[in-house]
Amino acid sequence: MAKHSHSIVLLAAAAFAAVTSLVAQETANPAAENAKFVAELKAKIAGKEKAPAKEVFKNLKMFGDMPAERLLSVMEGGFAKSLGVSCTHCHNPAAWESDEKDAKQIARDMSALSRSIRDQLKAIDKLGIRNPTVNCTTCHRGNTKPATTL
């Protein structure tokens, strides 16, 4: 009897470890979850992919003029991938337009920061770059907190 309950405890511990590692994997690799969100949103905007994003979505302060499907590519390949996060880092997926998460407004301010760095690079005469590229990946490289050491 005692032996039997011992093995149940072991089984329960193994099951718990398996579930914990699954959850950890999901957080470590959000790409699949993000692809699922994008697929759901694409299905929702079907027929309006090329329409200006502001006619399709509800709360745009920067990206209103780009085609709606392009906004989703920027979200997936630009924002989420460069920070290594799920869409849920910045969004409540039940209300994509909501600004309830601070990271979403920070992302708008970071876009302005990137633009201002690009302008400053253009002003470095002897560098001679007309269209310098500085984007989220330049600093973030797959992390929410940019590295300060190599």
Q: What is the contact surface with ligand HEC in residues (CB under 6 A)?
A: 34, 37-38, 41, 57-63, 72, 75-76, 79-80, 83, 85, 87, 89-91, 96-97, 103-104, 106-108, 110-111, 113-114, 117, 134-136, 138-140, 144-146
- The rounded distance, in Å, linking the Cα atoms of 45 and 41 is 6
For residue 15, the minimal CB distance to ligand HEC (Å) is 31
In the complex with ligand HEC, which residue's Cβ is closer, 16 or 97?
A: 97
Residues sharing a CB contact under 8 Å with residue 134, sequence separation 6 or more, in sequence order:
114, 117, 118, 121
Long-range contacts of 142-145 (CB under 8 A, 24+ apart): 142/81, 142/82, 142/83, 142/84, 143/83, 143/84, 144/83, 144/84, 144/85, 144/89
In the complex with ligand HEC, which residue's Cβ is closer, 6 or 141?
A: 141
Picking from 39, 109, 91, 30, the residue whose alpha carbon sits closest to that of residue 69 is 39
For residue 57, the minimal CB distance to ligand HEC (Å) is 3
For residue 9, the minimal CB distance to ligand HEC (Å) is 38
Helices then strands, each counted (H, E), the chain = 7, 0
In the complex with ligand HEC, which residue's Cβ is closer, 125 or 144?
A: 144
For residue 45, the minimal CB distance to ligand HEC (Å) is 9
For residue 118, the minimal CB distance to ligand HEC (Å) is 9
